[in-house]
Chains A and B, each alone.
Chain A
Amino acid sequence: MSFYFAIVGTKDNPIYEAEFGTSKQGGDGVARFREEQRSMNQFIVHSSLDIVEEVQWATPTMYMKCVDKFNNLQVSCFLTAGNIKFLLLHDQKADDAIRQFFTDVYDLYTKTLMNPFYEVDMRITSGVFDGKVKQAAKKYL
């Protein structure tokens, strides 16, 4: 089970992306996408942005479960208060685990935003952030 995670800003610009595999049931945490599949990941996630923008006005919740399907892959979305989108591309259903993962990343994102030198829509390049996201992925996914 592999995951592709991306944080997209208010101008549809990527802020952060990461790939991981599942650590449950003996998985080693390394993503296993086929090479062609890998380059498609970004496009699939990008195209689901349209759907997110439609759905976001229909519901006041922050965690929108599966917003889009492509072949056998699903895209789940979490929308923050400031309209930042967390998108996760995955191949199996895992609603609760994904929700907990998103909540953790939301916590990390808010902490990043508290940095007065970090503006909204800037890329997140902190190694610490990267490490913590991977840790959260290992814990929940």
Chain B
Amino acid sequence: MQRGDSLNSPFVPFSPNPSIQQGTPTSTPPLKHTLSSSTSSNLRYSSSRKSIYDRHLNRSQRSELSKASFAFLFGEMVQYAQKRVNGITDLEKKLNLHGYSIGQRLLELLLWREGRGAKRETRILGILQFITTTVYRSIFNKPADGLEKSRDNEDEYMLIDNDPMVNSYISVPKEMSQLNCAAFVAGIIEAVLDGCLFPGRVTAHSVPTEQLPAKTVFLIKFDESVIERESVLG
């Protein structure tokens, strides 16, 4: 079962990106071939001849989205995922996947918007601070509430959010109390980390306290290769 067996497929079968389905590997057609066939017009152009390349990337920078529309969309997203899975871990995985594709795009967009002096992050602390401030501010308009390093494990870090916006209109029944829909945001964080070559797993855990009943901790567990590299870099 593969998307696009034809020679014109732009689809590359091997990828670490979990949102691409695994299929049996086929030989990838030479690039020149794909490019020339794109000029044959089974492509439909909009009548004003405008494409996405004509939109400016800063156009949506200052625009805001109403919380209600997002809550509606997110609620539908959770319901959609729930119908197609059996089990809480699968549901969280699906939400993680949704967030993953957003995170990939957000990473590139945010660094592009920084302009000429943009710097890629090469250290763990750097990338975590980037996520806590820049990424969080661009999605939720406020930085995350805390960043901690685990005392027991070298490779675990915790990002704290006192009230994740995505959970504000989601009510979880008692039988599914382990579910935390902030798995969506965990997916975004995981994609940003993967894109900068800090592979790992990010999971969302609810740790309700008296004053903050919706407090969520994102547990970030890096792969060994990251810790090794970090120690080599000093």
Contacts and interface: CB of A to CB of B under 8 A. Distances in A.
B30 to A, nearest CB: 10
A81 B195 contact: yes
Determine the main DSSP class of A at the interface with B.
Answer: loop
A122 B118 contact: no
Contact of B16 (A11, A111, A113, A116): A11
Contacts of A57: 122, 229, 233
Contacts, number: 115
Contacts of A50: none
Contacts of B8: 125
B197 A119 contact: no
A57 B8 CA distance: 36
A26 interface: no
A9 interface: yes
Given A111-B55, A127-B38, A13 B12 contact: yes
A17 interface: yes
Interface of A: 9-11, 13-14, 16-17, 56-57, 59-62, 79-83, 103, 106-116, 119-130, 132
Q: Return the 5 tightest CB-CB contacts between A and B, nearest first.
A: A81-B111, A123-B10, A82-B195, A60-B119, A121-B15
24 contacts: A11-B12, A13-B12, A57-B233, A59-B122, A60-B119, A60-B121, A61-B119, A62-B118, A79-B120, A80-B108, A80-B111, A81-B196, A82-B196, A103-B116, A110-B109, A111-B55, A111-B57, A114-B109, A119-B20, A120-B15, A121-B15, A125-B38, A130-B38, A132-B53
